Amino acid sequence: SHIMSEYGRMTDTERDQIDQDAQVFMRTCADAIHQLRTEAHKGVQSSQVKEHRTAVLDFIEDYLKRVCKLYSEQRAIRVKRVIDKKRL
């Protein structure tokens, strides 16, 4: 209990840094997926290999989108709490 109270609270600066890092990370991942998709379609491959790579990249891209949505929801909750605090 003492440890949680001492270390459990983050400052707004720490939260802002995490938000900024998360946005950079998500952008980097999206760029990497796009680059992999471009590279996956280059070269001569069987249609089965192309379909497999496309399916894998679609899955990864969908997962990233779900993570981004979850992040956005959490950020919206944080913003709402800040607004509510200012109203009081």
Where are the chain's structural domains? Answer: 22-87
Q: Roughly how many angstroms between the first and final C-alpha of the chain, as a whole number?
A: 28
- Residue 34 token pair: 């796009």
Which residues in 53-64 are b (16+ Cβ under 10 Å) and which e?
A: beeebeeebeee
Per-residue pLDDT of 10-46, as tens digits, reads: 888 888 899 999 999 999 999 999 999 998 888 767 8
Q: What is the pTM of this model?
A: 0.76
